[in-house]
Structure 1
């Protein structure tokens, strides 16, 4: 056996039991992300092993990597994300891919099925493989979308569905989405418009055409105009995706019986929400409904029908994930930044 054949034979078992992944061992900037080989997961009896084809770098990845936590929540989230060092070393909250193998108790999926999945706080999407419970948020991939497009609808669509499920939007309802050009904001604009709402999108002027193309009836350029200076009782629902619209600032804008859906909120706003709801007659909440498998299936169906559409800012390969983190850190991404694997 030649030296090269010996080296190949020696490396084969390692590569069969390991995979490439983006790893984070320290809190901090994008430079703390590195691509390395880590153990390949083995699916439990009720899990499917997904060969990841695409994932996204989201604001959730930024927050967990940089430990950029809303005020007051640092100690509360420490058991999940870590206090001094990350508890989760492979980020990535969403994936699109192909089922590689299934556990002995799995009945819903078979090898070769194309799927999307919302991984939640388990993370793990920035890797070549991830194990997902068959009862988790994992439907089949919309056949009309590529893997990159399918990954782009998951984080934003899942989050927007969670919060909009808290309200009943009738045709003609007035909805304001603050932070309308990010992954969640774009999905909220699409879903609200689909229900017949008139959507006002708060974003920068460079994103005006984008949000209008996705269903916004009106655009407020936050760099030139203070949307909170608007007329009293202008909106039935405000979807807060930017962290700049706390209840005291926007209370006058919301009609009686309306809602403030706080996708981003600090501890003070979260604790005050029930009291503010009782006092004002306005639903103030930082908690969305659970989506679950049925909701994820609904998301896939909406995508199949074209009612929720992927918006992709850029696509990078796994080796370019550090630059993807740097870009997400700017807060200027439009829709999703997609990482392609395999």
Structure 2
């Protein structure tokens, strides 16, 4: 089979299209013929080993000190079940599925084995493989954090980075939960965020949301580019601050936790099961959640796709289409 591999950390050019051994499912696994995958910000960070200094050592232990332990990236996918292990009960050959492969990576390949009890679900019937592949990380992340905030109908939620993958889903899911949503994004993305249901949009290139005098029950930092002090200024006394990009709190965050009633929830992994994907599938099929795709690349264009995402200006998601044409690569 074809796979995108990398044997050293570095720029997009370290990614190479090569032949790899086709995996075989164990007793509790399914073998998925991958139809589409994505390029996420996390793929970029892992490939280039760009992590916060405070997280450097544990990241090296997890990912590999001198070179990557896992040589094929890709954290979300959609495809068709080709075969199943003898103990698998939830899926059968021919099922169309979408899944997160965040733990072991490996979505940048024509085939991927996944445990049947992991974050995998039947693909929503009303969308393409490309759209389905763009749900398991961004949408699941947004849902996980918004659930942590225990949003009540009528509460005010601000999403900073509302045009990115997590942000576009956060706007829609917060609206579904009954919130009044303000999205913060750049000038070129204002209409996009409005179209997703945001009640108000703020262009961060022309105004600072914290100077508008508004306060929010929840502030969702989806891209790691806002000022923490600005967020605290605009967060209500008993409000909740969500940040998907910071794994460990700095001094100011720790001080805020100790001296205020504001709740801070930082970067953490969502549960590795199918519950969230099943819920998101229902939202998509009910027309309550749409997938924003910025660009689509062929499997062979993975380097260009990584270059584009690395610029940090993608709208929603960037997807990779996997064509199975039996061509040989070295």
TM-score bracket for this pair, using the shorter chain length:
over 0.9
The 5 Å alignment of 1:283-322 reads: 283-286=263-266, 287=268, 289-290=270-271, 292-322=273-303
Secondary structure of the corresponding residue to residue 69 of structure 1: coil
* Residues 192-222 of structure 1: per-residue CA shift (max 9 Å, x gap): 0111211111110000010110111111111
Alpha carbons 2:118, 2:272 under 8 Å: kept = no
Aligned to 2:17: 35
1:96-126 Cα distance to aligned partner (Å, 9 max, x none): 0000100111011111000000111311111
2:84 to 102, 114, 117: 102
CA gap 1:288/1:249 in 2 versus in 1, 3 angstroms: farther
- List alignment gaps of at least 5 residues for structure 2: 324-330
**Residues 289 and 278 from structure 1, CA distance in 2 versus in 1: closer, same or farther, beyond 3 angstroms?**
farther
When normalised by structure 2's length, the TM-score is 0.93
* Alpha carbons of structure 1 residues 48 and 291: separation in structure 2 relative to 1, 3 Å: closer
| C-alpha contact 1:179 1:241 (8 A) present in aligned 2 | yes
Contact 1:247 1:260 (C-alpha < 8 Å) held by counterparts: no
Equivalent residue in structure 2 for 1:78, among 38, 47, 60: 60
1:292 Cα offset (Å)? 2.3
Higher helix share: 1
Q: Distance in 1 between matches of 2:73 and 2:115?
A: 18
RMSD: 1.6
**2:326 aligned residue:** none
1:274 Cα offset (Å): 6.2
Matching residue within 11, 22, 27 for 2:4: 22
Asked whether 1:113 is paired with 2:113, we answer no
Residues 1:223 and 1:216: Cα distance change in structure 2 (over 3 Å): same
Gaps of 5+ in 1: 1-18
Tell me, yes or no, if structure 1 residue 226 matches structure 2 residue 201: no
What corresponds to 1:172 in structure 2? 154
Name the stretch that deviates more: 332-341 or 291-300: 291-300
| 1:166–1:288 CA contact under 8 A, matched in 2 | no
Deviates more, 1:216-225 or 1:197-206: 216-225
Partner of 2:327: none
Partner in structure 1 of residue 259 of structure 2:
279
Is the alpha carbon distance of 1:188 and 1:47 closer, same or farther for their aligned partners in structure 2, counting shifts above 3 Å?
same
Which of residues 254, 260, 265 in structure 1 aligns to 2:235? Answer: 254
Indicate conservation of the 8 Å contact 2:123/2:281, yes or no: yes
1:169-188 deviation line (CA, Å, top 9, x unaligned) = 22221111111111101000
Contact 2:160 2:226 in 1 (8 A): yes
Check the 8 A contact 2:161/2:183 in 1, yes or no: yes
Q: Which structure has the bigger radius of gyration?
A: 1
Partner of 1:163: 145
> CA–CA distance in 1 between the matches of 2:99 and 2:195?
27
1:207-222 residue pairs with structure 2 within 5 A?
207-222=189-204
Give the Cα–Cα distance (whole angstroms) in 1 for the partners of residues 47 and 98 of structure 2: 23
The 8 Å contact of residues 82 and 93 in structure 2, kept in 1 or not, is answered as: yes
Compute the displacement of 1:288 (Å): 5.9
Give the conservation status (yes or no) of the 8 Å contact 2:141–2:270. Answer: no
**TM (normalized to structure 1)?**
0.90
